[in-house]
Amino acid sequence: MQPVTWQRWPLSEWRRSARRGALFAVLSVGCVEAKRVSPDPVEAVPPLDPHYYDSLPAPQRATYDGADAVVVATLVNPKLHGVLTSLPPIYMHGFEIGFVRPLGGSDFPAVRLSYMTRRPDHDRPFVPWSRAILSLRIVEQTIEFGDAKPGLTVEVARVDAATPELEQALAIALSPAPPDLHLSVTQVPSAPVGFENPFGDGVFDLSVVNRGKVRRVVPRLFVEETPSGDVVRFDEALEIRRGDMLPDFSAGTTLHLPTRPHIGPVRPLELAPSESVSIRVDVKPLHGLPASVGGGRLYYSFAIGPLRTSSFFYYSARLHGPLMGKTP
């Protein structure tokens, strides 16, 4: 895999480049939108080694597999905003994105993105208009607490240079979400216990909705015909990836709902326009104690095939610790 390339210019060059860049930006506003629908040509790639993806470092593959979205994008107006003086240092980047080609996961709004990393090869600003592969987290907050307002945050988990080989491997290994289908998550409020559970107690409502005008089949989600009626088998389709304290799902574990044997025939779930299906999930019984001794945010990525999104709750060792890993 080729590393992301960098360039260092004298200050005078940066100033001249900034003036030229400002004029270019004015003249090329339409070009940014055009790039969103007309991808840059990618050089032809010989047949890919079928083991290429598996040969990638395990943490890199785990980030791709656990991301809510993986895209190829051009980096617009990249900045290195600062460096946190830790060991190793943490580099804080920001950029917008031009053309986006989805490789896997859900769609996301076009916003300026922030990226924090300890990678030593990311200690300088990215090259403007360079192509990169971005692994993203789409974090939904639905409960207001203090200055924390409800909303959706898109966070960058990883940035890699976009090579034809890596693009092809990811296009084979991953799948983008089908058109019109959307997975959302809602934090379920609970009775407050001091300031220990401002974002609920780890209970979430998940919903898959068809926002289009034609019927859509939901990938990997089936309906079982039982004597008491049809049952949507979320237990077989839903994967929950956990990231302790930071939404870094590459280091977390994958959780599953308790399942049961089939008692009737199954068929793929098909949703009519505006139709939706939902499930309430309590994550506390699904895993044991987190690494934190006292408390902090626990992040979870919810996935039904390529439909993905994330959320969190504030874990309190005193309040939630006795409930972790226990069946209610």
Task: Dump pLDDT digits (tens) for 186-216.
Answer: 999 999 998 899 999 999 999 999 999 999 9
Please give the pLDDT value at position 54. 92
Given 3.40.718.10, 3.40.50.300, 2.60.40.2970, 3.10.129.10, which CATH number is that of 181-323? 2.60.40.2970
Q: Across the chain, where does the E strand assignment appear?
A: 69-84, 90-105, 113-117, 131-141, 151-161, 181-187, 203-210, 216-226, 229-232, 238-244, 254-256, 266-271, 276-282, 295-304, 307-316
Looking at residue 43, its pLDDT comes to 53
More confident residue, 38 or 105: 105
More confident residue, 36 or 88: 88
Question: Of the ranges 20-24, 41-45, 240-244, 282-286, which one carries the lowest mean pLDDT score?
Answer: 20-24
Q: Is the dihedral of CA 291, 314, 136, 77 positive or negative?
A: negative
Q: Answer whether 255's CB lies under 8 Å from 298's CB.
A: no
Phi then psi for residue 276, to 5 deg, are: -145, 160
pLDDT at 9 over 50: no
**14 has pLDDT over 80:** no
Mean pLDDT of 227-240: 95
Residue 223 has pLDDT above 90, yes or no: yes
Q: Which residue has the higher pLDDT, 75 or 37?
A: 75
Q: What is the mean pLDDT of residues 19-43?
A: 40
Flag the least confident range among 15-29, 69-83, 116-130, 248-262: 15-29
Q: Mean pLDDT over residues 98-123, rounded?
A: 89
Tell me the pLDDT band of 244, cut-offs 50, 70 and 90. Answer: low
- Residue range(s) in the chain whose domain bears CATH number 2.40.50: 46-173
At residue 7, the pLDDT reads 42
Question: What percent of the chain stands above pLDDT 90?
Answer: 65
Output the pLDDT for position 17.
Answer: 45
Among 65-69, 76-80, 85-89, 142-146, where is mean pLDDT lowest? 85-89
User: What is the model's pLDDT at position 250?
Assistant: 58
Which part of the chain is CATH 2.60.40.2970? Answer: 181-323
CA–CA separation, 313 and 328 (whole Å): 18
Q: Contact, 234 vs 303, CB < 8 A?
A: no
How high is the pLDDT of residue 15? Answer: 43
Instruction: Reply yes or no on whether the pLDDT at 25 is more than 60.
Output: no
Lowest mean pLDDT among 208-212, 291-295, 323-327: 291-295
CATH number for the segment(s) 46-173: 2.40.50
Tell me what the mean pLDDT of segment 120-149 comes to: 94
Going by C-beta distance under 8 Å and a sequence separation of 6 or more, which residues neighbour residue 127? 4, 5, 6, 7, 75, 78
Q: Is 200 helix (H, G, I), strand (E, B) or coil?
A: coil
